[in-house]
Amino acid sequence: MTRPSLRETNFKFPGQLGLYRGKVRDVYTFENKLIMIASDRISAFDVVLPEPIPYKGQILNQIASEFLNTSKHIVPNWLESTPDPNVSIGKKCEAFQVEMVIRGYLAGHAWREYRDGKRMLCGMPLPEGLKENDRLPEPIITPTTKAHEGHDEDISREEILAQGIVAKKDYLQLEEYTKALFNFGTKVAAERGLILVDTKYEFGMHKGEIYLIDEVHTPDSSRYFYKDGFDDRQQKGEKQKQLSKEFVRQWLIENGFQGKEGQKIPKMTPEVVNNISDRYVELYEKVTGKKFLPSQDSDILKRVESNIKKVL
């Protein structure tokens, strides 16, 4: 059976002021709220890949809403309702122009920088003698700029403050929230047999208060390892078993694509697409501890539009 997917939306709602299409989400803006639709598009190396991944949008939206609802005691967030498996509605916040990346382990981008000889990442020193995926002495915050097009760039706390990107008082609060959210996510992951390796958070201002915005602890914004066998694999120098989007990046790298000029995206066969979809389902069930119930609608667009109109 062909799995239905949602590539993009082009709705016109009463009171709608605009539509911003991100790499994965279609964001409809209103005077005082946002409607965020999680599509099944998938991006890697800041490039949207040609084939949508069935169920991915539903999975991202449901994981994000789960963590937003259970982390309100740490920081207020933008979410007000999820009227559809692919839809979140909430407060319109003015986003800070940095993404707060926090890392507990030397993996992904941080490892690639370290492997190439760097011992300072976003102003944070890294000790000598680390191997890929080693646990860091303590989690480090490695912010990036928010690029609407192209690549996000690493930036240090000192550069953020010197350039006036975020006021010092607000930035220090962002760091505190980031550490507290990461501790929370780490505990939840451990209860489910996982290690939260690294993740990113985005924040915005609403009526003078800082709010957590966008997605939280999803496979698109976070990297997870399986806890069982982690130490043994590290000692033997074996690859870690992970649940994240990194397997998509690895598949692309192995097929000669890293988002660089002149490189061609490898063909995404139905087998590749369904494999990625299955991995997202696995991650959903592992991260939430719940059975994934895929939407059975063949016409996702119609369902999404209908559910949004019911609450407008």
CA distance readout (Å), 248 to 245, 251, 269: 5, 5, 13
Quick: pLDDT tens for 12-25. Answer: 999 999 999 999 99
**Could you tell me what percent of the chain has a pLDDT over 70?**
98
Q: What value does the mean pLDDT take over residues 197-211?
A: 97
Please report the pLDDT score of residue 181 as a whole number: 98
Please report the pLDDT score of residue 243 as a whole number: 80
CA distance readout (Å), 283 to 21, 99, 184, 215, 304: 25, 23, 18, 15, 24
Task: Please name the helix (run of DSSP H) or strand (run of DSSP E) that holds residue 66, with its range, or none.
Answer: helix 56-70
Question: What is the residue extent of each domain of the chain?
Answer: 95-244
Residue type, 122: C
Name the token pair of 159.
């550069």
Euclidean distance between the first and the last CA atom of the chain, given in angstroms as a whole number = 34
For domain 95-244, give the CATH superfamily. Answer: ATP-grasp fold, B domain (3.30.470.20)
CA distance linking residue 174 with residue 64, whole number of Å: 19
Q: What value does the mean pLDDT take over residues 102-115?
A: 96
55: phi then psi, degrees, rounded to nearest 5: 75, -10
CA distance linking residue 90 with residue 248, whole number of Å: 30
**pLDDT at residue 150 tops 60:** no
Q: What value does the mean pLDDT take over residues 75-102?
A: 97
Task: Please name the helix (run of DSSP H) or strand (run of DSSP E) that holds residue 46, with its range, or none.
Answer: none
Please report the pLDDT score of residue 3 as a whole number: 86
CA distance linking residue 65 with residue 299, whole number of Å: 23
Residue type, 138: E
The candidate with the shortest Cα–Cα distance to 192, out of 141, 134, 138, 243, is 243
Task: Please name the helix (run of DSSP H) or strand (run of DSSP E) that holds residue 198, with its range, or none.
Answer: strand 194-206
**pLDDT at residue 149 tops 70:** no
Model confidence, pTM: 0.89
The candidate with the shortest Cα–Cα distance to 5, out of 24, 32, 29, is 24
Please report the pLDDT score of residue 98 as a whole number: 97
Mean pLDDT over the full length of the chain: 94
Please report the pLDDT score of residue 148 as a whole number: 60
Q: Residues 6 or more apart from 251 whose CB is under 8 A from it?
A: 266, 272
Lowest-pLDDT range of 76-85, 231-240, 279-288: 279-288
**Band of the pLDDT at 151, cuts 50, 70, 90?**
low
**Band of the pLDDT at 69, cuts 50, 70, 90?**
very high
Quick: pLDDT tens for 230-254. Answer: 999 999 999 998 887 878 988 999 9
